[in-house]
C-alpha cells in the first residue's frame, strides 16, 4: 500500500514536472517561431560576409559579424578565443576535358587542402575506376602518368544521407594519395553529391606524408556522367591548370563565444555550437551558417523569455571545422586549462533543415535520462534519439575530458545536394525549418539544465 502510494506520488510529481516542462517547451517554440532572429542573422552573414574559409580576410570579417550578433542576443558575456588556423588558398583553376573532338572547359573545383599544378599546364589521359578495389587491381604501368577518375556514385538508397556521405567520402579524403602511390599525376572525383545537377562539391582531402601531393578536382554529377560515358567509349584527355595551395604558417583567428550564466550551478556548462568557417564556395549557408545562427538564437530566446537556465549555457561559433578543427581544439584546451566543468556539448552542423531528432553520444544511463522526455519533443516533430550524435568541433571535449555529446539531427534529404557547393546559399535555407531547429536546441538545453543528465 505504501509502495503504491509512493508510486502514485512519483507519477503525480513526474506529470507535474512534465506539465511545467511542456509549458516551457511551448514558450520556447512560440518565441523562436514568432520572434526568432536567426533567419535575419543568417541573411546578414551570407550576404555581407559570404563564404569564409579559415585564415581568409572573409573569415576575419565573419568573426566581427559573430561577435556583434552574439552581443545582440543579450548574452551576459561575449568573448573571442584565439586559435591559429591554416589558410588554404584556391586561386584560379580550370579543367578542360576532351570529350569528342575538342577540349571543353567543365565546371570543376579543386579539393580543399590539395596542391594544384602551380599554375602550370597538366595534360594527361584519364583512366576511370569505379572504386578502390578496381583501382587496386590495376598494374602500376597503367596508372603511371595518368589522371585517375574515381567514379564512385553517392548511394541514394541510404535514407539517412550522412550514411551515404560516410560511404563515399573516402574517395575525396584518400583518393589522391592512393592514386599517387601508383604514379598517377592527378585525381578527378565524382562529387559526394545527391544532386541531379552539375554543382561540383569541394571538401577536404588529406595527403599521406609518404606520397606526392598530386592535384585533385571534383566534378558535378552531370559532368561526371558525361565523362563516364566518354571513358567507356575511348580515351579521354584532360588539360588542367590550378593555383591552389596551403599557405605557409598559420593565421591567428578566433572562436566567438557568448554565454548566459547559470542561476543555480554557474560552474556547470552546456555548450551549443556550429562552425563559423566554411569552404570558399557559395555562402556557407547550410554548412554551417545555419548552426551558428541557431546557437546564437538559443541565447536570444532564453533572454527574451527571461528564462534563466540553472546551468551556464554557452553558444560557440567554432573556427576552422572544415580543415583543421583548430577552434574545437582550442576550446577544449582552454576548458582543461581553466578546469571547467562541461556537462554537455551539442553541435549543430547538419544544416538548418526541419529537425527530426537529437543524436546522443554518451553513456546509456545518460541517454535514458534524456529519452524519458521524448514525448515532450513529439509535438515539434522531434522523435529520433537513436542516431549517434556529436560533431568535429566538440569531439575534443569528449576525447580529452569525456564530455557527453549531442548533435541536432535535421532532415537529411537536401543536405548533400548543397554541401560544399556554390549552391549553398541563403536562399536554400527555409526560415521555419531553421527556426524549428533552433527551438529544438533551446528546448533540449533547457531540459538538461533543469534536470541534469542523470
In the numeric block, the cell 588556423 is attached to 85
Q: Write down the least CB distance from residue 356 to a second copy, Å.
A: 7
Contacting residues toward a second copy, per CB under 8 A: 29-30, 33-34, 39, 156-157, 159, 161, 194, 196, 354, 356, 379-381, 383-384, 411, 413-414, 417, 430-433, 436
CA distances from 219 to 62, 167, 225 (A): 29, 18, 9
Nearest to a second copy of 33, 72 (CB atom): 33
Q: Write down the least CB distance from residue 426 to a second copy, Å.
A: 11
Q: What is the spatial distance between Cα 165 and Cα 351, in angstroms, rounded to a whole number?
A: 14
Phi-psi region of 91 (alpha: psi -120 to 50; beta: other; left: phi over 0): left
Nearest to a second copy of 340, 433 (CB atom): 433
What is the 8-class DSSP label of residue 436?
H
Nearest to a second copy of 299, 439 (CB atom): 439
Q: What is the spatial distance between Cα 415 and Cα 429, in angstroms, rounded to a whole number?
A: 10
Nearest to a second copy of 111, 298 (CB atom): 298
Nearest to a second copy of 163, 334 (CB atom): 163
Q: What is the spatial distance between Cα 167 and Cα 83, in angstroms, rounded to a whole number?
A: 31
* Long-range Cβ pairs for the range 135-139 (8 Å, 24+): 135/178, 135/179, 135/182, 138/182
Q: How many C-beta atoms lie closer than 10 Å to residue 395's C-beta? A: 19
Nearest to a second copy of 188, 438 (CB atom): 438
Q: Write down the least CB distance from residue 156 to a second copy, Å.
A: 5
What is the 8-class DSSP label of residue 46?
I
Side-chain half-sphere exposure of 167, counting CA atoms within 13 A: 17
Q: Write down the least CB distance from residue 157 to a second copy, Å.
A: 5
Q: Write down the least CB distance from residue 191 to a second copy, Å.
A: 16
CA-closest candidate to residue 158, choices 392, 391, 425, 387: 387
Measured over the CA atoms of residue 315, residue 384, residue 365 and residue 404, the dihedral's sign is negative
Q: Write down the least CB distance from residue 172 to a second copy, Å.
A: 20
Q: Write down the least CB distance from residue 416 to a second copy, Å.
A: 9
Nearest to a second copy of 157, 209 (CB atom): 157
Amino acid at each position: 500500500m505504501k509502495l503504491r502510494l509512493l508510486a502514485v506520488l512519483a507519477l503525480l510529481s513526474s506529470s507535474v514536472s512534465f506539465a511545467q516542462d511542456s509549458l516551457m517547451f511551448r514558450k520556447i517554440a512560440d518565441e523562436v517561431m514568432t520572434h526568432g532572429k536567426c533567419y535575419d542573422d543568417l541573411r546578414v552573414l551570407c550576404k555581407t560576409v559570404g563564404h569564409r574559409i579559415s585564415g581568409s580576410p572573409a573569415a576575419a570579417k565573419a568573426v566581427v559579424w559573430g561577435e556583434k550578433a552574439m552581443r545582440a542576443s543579450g548574452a551576459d558575456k561575449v568573448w573571442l578565443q584565439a586559435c591559429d588556423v591554416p589558410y588554404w588558398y584556391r586561386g584560379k583553376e580550370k579543367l578542360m576535358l576532351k570529350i569528342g573532338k575538342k577540349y571543353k572547359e567543365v565546371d570543376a573545383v579543386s579539393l580543399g587542402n590539395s596542391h594544384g599544378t602551380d599554375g602550370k599546364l597538366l595534360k594527361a589521359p584519364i583512366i576511370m575506376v569505379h572504386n578502390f578495389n578496381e583501382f587496386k587491381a590495376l598494374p602500376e604501368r597503367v596508372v603511371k602518368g595518368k589522371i585517375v577518375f574515381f567514379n564512385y556514385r553517392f548511394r541514394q538508397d541510404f535514407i539517412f544521407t550522412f550514411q551515404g556521405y560516410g560511404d563515399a567520402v573516402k574517395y575525396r579524403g584518400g583518393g589522391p594519395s592512393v592514386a599517387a602511390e601508383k604514379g598517377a599525376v592527378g585525381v578527378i572525383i565524382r562529387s559526394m553529391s545527391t544532386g541531379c545537377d552539375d554543382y561540383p562539391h569541394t571538401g577536404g582531402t588529406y595527403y599521406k606524408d609518404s606520397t606526392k601531393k598530386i592535384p585533385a578536382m571534383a566534378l558535378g554529377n552531370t559532368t561526371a556522367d558525361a565523362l563516364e560515358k566518354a571513358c567507356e567509349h575511348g580515351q579521354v584527355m584532360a588539360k588542367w591548370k590550378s593555383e591552389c595551395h596551403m599557405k605557409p604558417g598559420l593565421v591567428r583567428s578566433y572562436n566567438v563565444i557568448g554565454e548566459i550564466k547559470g542561476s543555480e550551478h554557474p560552474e556547470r556548462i552546456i555548450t551549443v555550437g556550429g562552425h563559423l568557417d566554411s569552404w570558399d564556395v557559395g555562402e556557407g549557408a547550410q554548412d554551417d551558417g545555419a548552426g551558428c545562427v541557431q546557437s546564437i538564437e538559443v541565447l536570444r530566446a532564453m533572454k527574451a523569455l527571461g528564462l534563466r537556465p540553472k546551468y551556464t549555457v554557452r553558444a560557440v561559433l567554432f573556427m576552422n571545422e572544415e580543415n583543421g578543427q583548430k577552434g574545437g581544439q582550442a576550446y577544449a584546451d582552454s576548458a582543461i586549462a581553466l578546469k571547467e566543468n562541461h556537462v554537455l556539448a551539442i553541435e549543430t552542423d547538419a544544416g538548418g533543415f526541419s529537425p527530426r531528432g537529437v543524436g546522443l553520444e554518451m553513456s546509456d544511463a545518460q541517454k535514458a535520462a534524456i529519452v524519458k522526455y521524448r514525448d515532450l519533443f513529439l509535438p515539434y516533430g522531434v522523435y529520433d534519439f537513436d542516431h549517434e550524435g556529436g560533431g568535429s568541433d566538440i569531439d575534443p571535449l569528449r576525447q580529452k575530458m569525456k564530455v557527453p555529446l549531442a548533435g541536432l539531427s535535421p532532415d537529411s534529404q537536401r543536405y548533400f545536394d548543397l554541401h560544399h557547393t556554390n549552391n549553398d546559399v541563403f536562399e536554400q535555407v527555409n526560415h521555419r525549418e531553421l527556426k524549428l531547429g533552433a527551438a529544438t536546441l533551446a528546448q533540449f538545453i533547457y531540459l538538461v539544465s533543469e534536470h541534469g543528465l542523470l
